[in-house]
């Protein structure tokens, strides 16, 4: 025995049709579902079914494949559907949605204002987390808008973190104004000083 | 003066604008998963410009049109060959080969049925040093190697380097870490400055041209027990890395392992693999049947 030259099976390269793949999403086998999810990258019309699947899917590897396929098929509609999971109590689902939304700047950008105005401060914090890592040239201005307008200290703190990474000298006056707004809050004072120092040193 | 000669750089090669570069990078990323940033523009520009000249294209636009629409994909393959980096040598990052023979293979031997093959996939295999190093390490250092059928599959996106791997001829620098004893055992005597790997090893490895972002090309790779994918994902962006990890997840048998390069960490690519430590080496394992 020892080394032998192995032959892998030849595979049919033809893609499966949409209805076959959608049917496979109901399979009890996670490998079958995962395989179908990966092949659905070819079908933008499957996005809604994939979002629905995400709600009920329990297998981590199928979930990971769902997020990847949805990133591939990204659209404003997919972004809105994924943003719904920011309210989920399932931490993995919520974090997966945040990471996926960070990968689709153009799709989520139109919806960010809605998320930043959400009544739930946790949703606004997640929106700031998404915003801070988007590859979009308006990010510093959007984050500055958050610290100018949001009343919640934790939302503003999340925005300061983002500005420390991507902000320029033009946001320093907004950071100083925020310091006055939360005067007496030692953490905010420290975070603002750190952010201004980082912005100034770059 | 025609359109080409009005746009040449100081070395006489066709110049490529920033917009053309961005367009090319987007196309190349979709085809290969390899991403080039602005800081690689000089490197990429030179290679595209050489291909524009060699294909006698009138301009970048002409060349790019050919690249996109050529049915055979031949020019794309030539360009891939010219852009990919193939720097490697025998026993590179050998602590992983230690983990292979002292930890991974014994663990697999416990979970596999006798008679089933152990399947190893080296991708990208470059000029062959990695799959041949795997083979030598197994034969020399795993005491159960004679009890198993071990298949080594080796793939690369670069057809030229793959031909070199199949040929199995290596320069002095490439075999610098191979002991004289192993050189005499697994290589033919040096001819014209090159070491030729022995026919037994050469014929036991299955080489194939594979683009890891092409689902049709990777579909054949199933029930793999160990993947060596080292120093490739550093050229991919986050989305490309994640999709490649999902492809490997699909290819691996339950309980299979993946070995990444020393600067690559799974934590930023996928949460579906489990880290396993063998001595000081961290590798990643696909969970077993029950997920």
Report DSSP letters for A101-142, one per residue.
Answer: HHT-HHHHHHHHHHHHT-S-HHHHHHHHHHHHH---TTHHHH
Distance from C-alpha of A58 to C-alpha of A72, rounded to nearest angstrom: 21
Q: What is the pLDDT of residues B259-288, one digit of tens each?
A: 998 778 887 788 889 999 998 899 999 998
Place of tokens 């100081």: B10
Separation of alpha carbons B220 and A91, rounded Å: 35
What is the pTM for the complete model shown?
Answer: 0.78
pLDDT for A108 beyond 70: yes
In this prediction, residue B2 carries a pLDDT of: 39
CA nearest neighbour of B253 among B207, B206, B288, B282: B288
B74 and A CB contact within 8 Å? no
pLDDT at B162: 95
pLDDT recorded at residue B5: 40
Task: Retrieve residue A168's tokens.
Answer: 């320029």
CA distance A201 to chain B (A): 23
Give the nearest partner residue to A11 out of B148, B219, B250, using CB atoms: B219
Q: Do B242 and A68 touch (CB under 8 A)?
A: yes
- Chain A residues whose CB is inside 8 A of the B220 CB are 8-11
Residue of B nearest to A41 (CA): B215
Residue whose C-alpha is closest to residue A106's, from A139, A84, A128: A139
Q: What is B194-247 written as a DSSP string?
A: EEEE-HHHHTTEEEEE--TT-HHHHTT--SEEEEEE-SSGGGS-HHHHHHHHHH
Query: Quick check: helix, strand or coil at residue B152?
Result: strand
Region A13-39 average pLDDT: 91
pLDDT at B239: 83
List pLDDT tens digits, range B52-61.
998 999 889 8
State the average pLDDT for chain A: 92
Q: Tens digit of pLDDT for each residue in A91-107?
A: 999 999 999 999 898 89
> What pLDDT shows up at residue B261?
86
| Residue B11 pLDDT exceeds 80 | no
Interface contact B291-A59, CB threshold 8 A: yes
Q: A134 is written with which tokens?
A: 């988007």
Name B190's Cβ contacts closer than 8 Å, sequence gap at least 6. Answer: none
Residues of A in contact with B152 (CB under 8 A): 3, 6
Give the pLDDT score at B193: 83
Residue A202 has pLDDT above 70, yes or no: no
Q: What is the mean pLDDT of residues A166-181?
A: 94
pLDDT at residue B10 in the model: 52
Say whether the peptide bond before residue B124 is cis (omega within 30 degrees of 0).
Answer: yes
Residue-range domain boundaries for chain A: 25-108, 110-201
Query: In this predicted structure, which of A174-178, B21-25, B29-33, B54-58 has the lowest mean pLDDT?
Result: B29-33
Interface touch B147/A1, C-beta < 8 Å: yes
Among the residue ranges A3-7, A156-160, B101-105, the one predicted with the least confidence is A3-7
Cα distances (Å, whole numbers) of residue B287 to A56, A61, B150: 21, 10, 22
The answer to whether residue B67 scores a pLDDT higher than 80 is yes
Neighbours of B179 (CB within 10 A): 11
Radius of gyration of chain A (CA): 22
The yes-or-no verdict on residue A10 having pLDDT over 90 is no
Closest residue in A to B143 (Cα–Cα) = A2
Using the beta-carbon criterion (under 8 Å), do A11 and B201 form an inter-chain contact? no
Bridge-based pairing state of the strands B281-285 and B274-278: antiparallel
| A residues 2-41 lying closer than 8 A (beta carbon) to B | 2-11, 13, 30, 34-35, 38-39, 41
The residue among B109, B112, B139, B151 with the most chain A CBs within 10 A of its CB, best to mutate, is: B151
What DSSP letter does each residue of B274-286 carry, written as one string? EEEEETTEEEEE-
| Average pLDDT over chain B, rounded to an integer | 89
pLDDT for the residue numbered A1: 56
Binning chain B into helix, strand and coil, the percentages to the nearest 5 are: 45, 20, 35
Closest residue in B to A63 (Cα) is: B272
Range of weakest confidence among A122-131, A178-187, B19-28, B146-155: B19-28
Q: How confident is the model at residue A127 (pLDDT cuts 50, 70, 90)?
A: very high
The answer to whether the CB of B182 falls within 8 A of the CB of B195 is no
Contact residues on chain B for A11, CB-CB shorter than 8 A: 216, 219-220
Name the A residues in 128-187 with CB < 8 Å from any B CB. Answer: none
State residue B291's pLDDT score.
57
- Structural domains of chain B in order of their starting residue, each with its CATH number: 5-83 (1.10.155), 95-285 (3.40.50.150)
Location of structure tokens 């008679």: B115
Q: Is residue A119's pLDDT more than 90?
A: yes
B140: closest chain A residue by CA: A2
Query: Are B220 and A9 inside 8 Å of each other by CB?
Result: yes
Nearest to B206 among A5, A68, A72 (CB): A5
Q: Which residue of A has its CA nearest to B223?
A: A8
Length of chain B: 291
Q: Looking at beta carbons, which residues of chain A come within 8 Å of B291?
A: 30, 59-61
Q: What is the pLDDT of residues B1-10, one digit of tens each?
A: 334 444 656 5
């Amino acid at each position: 025995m020892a080394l032998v030259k192995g032959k892998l099976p030849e595979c049919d390269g033809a893609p499966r049709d949409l209805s076959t793949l959608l049917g496979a999403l109901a399979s009890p086998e996670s490998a079958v579902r995962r395989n179908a999810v990966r092949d659905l990258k070819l079908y933008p019309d499957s996005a809604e079914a994939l979002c629905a699947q995400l709600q009920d899917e329990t297998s981590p590897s199928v979930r990971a494949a769902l997020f990847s396929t949805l990133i591939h098929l990204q659209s404003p509609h997919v972004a809105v559907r994924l943003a719904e999971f920011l309210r989920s109590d399932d931490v993995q689902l919520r974090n997966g949605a945040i990471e996926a939304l960070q990968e689709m700047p153009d799709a989520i950008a139109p919806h960010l204002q809605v998320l930043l105005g959400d009544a739930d401060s946790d949703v606004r914090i997640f929106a700031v987390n998404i915003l801070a890592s988007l590859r979009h040239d308006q990010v510093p201005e959007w984050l500055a808008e958050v610290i100018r307008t949001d009343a919640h200290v934790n939302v503003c703190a999340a925005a300061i973190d983002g500005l420390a990474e991507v902000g320029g000298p033009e946001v320093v006056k907004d950071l100083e104004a925020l310091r006055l707004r939360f005067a007496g809050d030692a953490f905010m004072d420290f975070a603002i000083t750190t952010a201004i120092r980082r912005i100034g040193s770059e | 003066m025609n359109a080409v000669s009005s746009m040449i750089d100081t070395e006489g090669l066709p110049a490529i604008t920033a917009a053309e570069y961005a367009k090319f990078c987007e196309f190349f990323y979709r085809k290969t998963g390899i991403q080039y940033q602005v800081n690689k523009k000089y490197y990429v520009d030179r290679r595209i410009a050489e291909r524009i000249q060699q294909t006698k294209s009138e301009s970048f636009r002409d060349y790019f049109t050919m690249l996109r629409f050529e049915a055979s994909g031949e020019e794309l393959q030539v360009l891939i060959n010219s852009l990919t980096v193939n720097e490697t040598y025998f026993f590179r990052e050998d602590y992983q080969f230690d983990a292979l023979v002292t930890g991974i293979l014994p663990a697999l031997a416990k979970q596999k049925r006798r008679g089933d093959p152990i399947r190893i996939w080296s991708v990208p295999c470059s000029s062959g040093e990695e799959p041949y190093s795997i083979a030598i390490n197994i034969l020399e250092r795993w005491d159960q190697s004679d009890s198993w059928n071990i298949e080594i599959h080796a793939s690369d996106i670069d057809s030229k380097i793959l031909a070199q791997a199949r040929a199995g001829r290596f320069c002095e620098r490439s075999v610098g870490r191979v002991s004289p004893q192993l050189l005499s055992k697994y290589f033919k005597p040096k001819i014209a400055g090159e070491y030729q790997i022995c026919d037994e090893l050469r014929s036991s490895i299955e080489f194939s041209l594979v683009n890891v972002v092409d689902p049709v090309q990777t579909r054949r790779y199933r029930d793999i027990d160990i993947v060596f994918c080292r120093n490739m994902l550093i050229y991919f962006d986050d989305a490309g890395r994640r999709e490649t990890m999902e492809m490997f997840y699909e290819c691996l048998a339950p309980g299979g392992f993946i070995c990444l390069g020393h600067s690559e960490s799974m934590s930023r690519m996928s949460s579906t693999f489990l880290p396993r430590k063998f001595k000081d080496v961290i590798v990643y394992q696909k969970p077993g049947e029950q997920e």
